Amino acid sequence: MKNLRAMRITLQVEEPEEHTTLLERAASGEASALERLLSPYKFALYALCRNMLGHAEDAEDAVQETYLRAIRALPKFRQDADLYSWLFRIAVNVCLNGKRTRGKTVPLEMATERATFHASPEAETLTRVEIDQALSVLSRRQRAVFLLREREGWSVPEIAAALRCTHRRINNELYQTRRALQAWALAHAEKGKEG
């Protein structure tokens, strides 16, 4: 899977003072500064929310709610903190805490990269469907932990900080998530042998 964390988004600023000034202008509500500060993260936030919630409309709503919460909290943002991690933490919390009106969620765009071999479109679709089915057995929290670890490349301490829990709990949730996915894979393989 593509590691978005490795492609961390950075602002095109010349000096640290310019970054500080941009944050101050954004915190005071200047629209152009807010746009310049937040827009580079829109795609990455949308991808995370889409994978966690499974529906494009819910993901768009979650990104908007993330931006609203970030704008409200921007005056309290620590200048030395990492904006990327801060925004992702807000987005994860929005996805975990938001009450969605849809039924069981299934992330539809989990496998966005093409395989290294040239598979047929049918085979690629089947792989995406299988990944979607596997992730559908997870709770929202398990899906969040799994996606942050495996897709975004976050460390256990970073996930623990974002979800405000212990490292031990994150490790336990990763273990439980992997067991659930292994159980799904075994059941899926047995089902394939029968059919």
Determine the residue type at 178. R
Q: pTM for this structure? A: 0.64
Higher pLDDT among residues 124 and 27, named by residue: 27
CA-closest candidate to residue 52, choices 116, 5, 98: 98
The whole-number pLDDT of residue 128 equals 65
Instruction: Tell me if 19 sits within 8 A of 167, measured CB to CB.
Output: no
Can you state the angle between helices 56-73 and 42-53, rounded to 10 degrees? Answer: 130
Mean pLDDT of 8-30: 68
CA-closest candidate to residue 94, choices 56, 51, 64: 64
Cα–Cα distance, 152 to 88 (Å, whole number): 10
The whole-number pLDDT of residue 173 equals 92
Model confidence pLDDT, tens digit, residues 162-190: 888 999 999 999 999 888 888 888 887 77
Distance of CA 182 to the CA centre of its chain: 22
Position 6 pLDDT exceeds 50: no
The whole-number pLDDT of residue 15 equals 54
Model confidence pLDDT, tens digit, residues 31-71: 888 888 888 899 999 988 888 887 888 899 999 999 999 98
Q: Specify whether domain 4-194 bears CATH 1.10.1740.10.
A: yes
Dihedrals phi, psi of 77, to nearest 5 degrees: -65, 130
Mean pLDDT of the chain: 76
Model confidence pLDDT, tens digit, residues 112-153: 333 333 445 555 555 667 777 788 888 888 988 988 888 888
Position 106 pLDDT exceeds 90: no
List the structure tokens of 185.
């894979």
The whole-number pLDDT of residue 190 equals 78
Instruction: Tell me if 94 sits within 8 A of 65, measured CB to CB.
Output: yes
